[in-house]
Amino acid sequence: MATADRRVLKSQEAIKNALIELMLEKNFDQITLQDISDRANVGRRTIYHHYMDKYDLLDKLMEEHINKLRETSEWACEKEWIDATQIFFEYFESNYLFFSTMLASKGAPSFRSKFLEFLIEAFKDETDITTGKNYGLNKDVIVKFAANAYVGVLESWLKDGMPSPTHVMAKELGILLERIV
């Protein structure tokens, strides 16, 4: 039974990787299931066994990463901003192909929106406007500002080929988030 599970996981991983690689080469709308099948070296039937169509595949792939970020957020956000940011940037680095493709791709703008929504929700829990530096300010404005800045910095870092190590990005972004949120 374990062998079958490994084969299924291996096929699913090959299918997901094939989609990401193809999105680097062409627009999502131009990618066919046959393209994915050929790149993943699996039959189209295998793709249909796991996904309804390429849109379902893309949705599940995006959902998988957002859920992983949500799980990570549950324990990482108990740490100081720099340490928490380090954990996330290590995840972005280890999943560079996915994040660089999804954030740079014109074929998957929905990922950027979902990622932004995730960050907005996460920052809402961290933002206090009743005391301190944000006293009296509009919480929505602070949260949206911080989330959009975070996405922008991440996009730039990925687009530029991760020129700074994760610990440098975590320190700088962590300090800025401490000042903002």
Residues 176 and 91 in one domain: yes
Q: Which of 4-8, 10-14, 44-48, 157-161 has the lowest mean pLDDT?
A: 4-8
CA pair distance 137, 112, nearest whole angstrom: 26
Domain hosting 24: range is 1-51
Q: Which residues does 137 contact at the CB level (< 8 Å), separation at least 6? A: 129
CA pair distance 170, 116, nearest whole angstrom: 18
Share of the chain above pLDDT 70, in %: 96
Residues 97 and 127 in one domain: yes
φ, ψ dihedrals at 54, nearest 5°: -65, -30
What CATH number has the domain bearing residue 28?
1.10.10.60
Average pLDDT of span 88-116: 89
At residue 3, the pLDDT reads 56
| Single pTM value for the model | 0.88
At residue 8, the pLDDT reads 86
Residue where one domain finishes, among candidates 33, 51, 69: 51
- Asked if 61 and 51 touch (Cβ cutoff 8 Å), the reply is no
CA pair distance 121, 119, nearest whole angstrom: 5
Residues 31 and 77 in one domain: no
Residues 148 and 167 in one domain: yes
Would you place residue 148 in the very low, low, confident or very high pLDDT band (cuts 50, 70, 90)?
A: very high
Say whether pLDDT at 1 is over 50.
Answer: no
pLDDT (tens digit, 9 = 90+) per residue, 43-80? 999 999 999 999 999 999 999 999 999 999 888 778 88
Say whether pLDDT at 132 is over 80.
Answer: yes
Q: What is the mean pLDDT of the chain?
A: 91
Residues 39 and 88 in one domain: no
Number of domains in the chain: 2
Which pairs from 122-127 meet CB under 8 Å and 24+ separation?
122/73, 122/77, 123/147, 123/181, 125/77, 126/77, 126/181, 127/181
Q: Which residues does 157 contact at the CB level (< 8 Å), separation at least 6? A: 92, 163, 164, 169
Residues 88 and 154 in one domain: yes
CA 171 to chain CA centroid, Å, is 20
Residues 11 and 69 in one domain: no
